Amino acid sequence: MPQLRPTTVLMSAMLATAIVPAVAPHALAQVIIPTNRNVLVQQNELLQLQNRMLRQQFQQQQQLNRELDRQIVPQSRPQVPVVKPGCQVLGNAILTSCR
C-alpha cells in the first residue's frame, strides 16, 4: 500500500469536512415530511453516505495522528548524579564510612 503524505491526508479530511454539511441539510429536510417510501429510501441512503464519509474522515485523522506520533522522537532520560548512601548501622557497628 503506498504511503500517503500528511498533506494529502489533511486535504482529504478537509474535503470530507466540507462535503458533510452540504449533505446533512437534505437529510434533515426529508425527515420533516416522510410521506412516501421513496423519501425514506433517499433519507437512508443519505444517512449511509454521511456515516461512510464520517468514518473515512475519522480513519484519515487517525492515520495522520499515527504518522505524527511516529515522527516524535521520545526524549531520553535525564542524567541524574548518583549519591552515595550514608552511614549504615547494624546494631552497635557501623558498616560503611560516614561522611
Q: How would you write the pLDDT of the chain (99 residues) with one tens digit per residue?
A: 456 566 776 677 766 666 655 555 555 555 555 567 788 888 899 999 999 999 999 999 999 999 988 887 778 888 888 777 666 767 676 666 665
How confident is the model at residue 61, as a pLDDT? 97
Residue 42 lies in a domain: yes
How confident is the model at residue 31, as a pLDDT? 52
User: Which of 1, 45, 55, 50 is CA-nearest to residue 23?
Assistant: 50
**pTM for the full predicted model:** 0.38
Residue 63 lies in a domain: yes
Neighbour tally for 46: CB within 10 Å: 19
Residue 20 lies in a domain: yes
**Total residues found in the chain within this entry:** 99
Query: Can you give the residue range of the structural domain that contains 37?
Result: 6-71
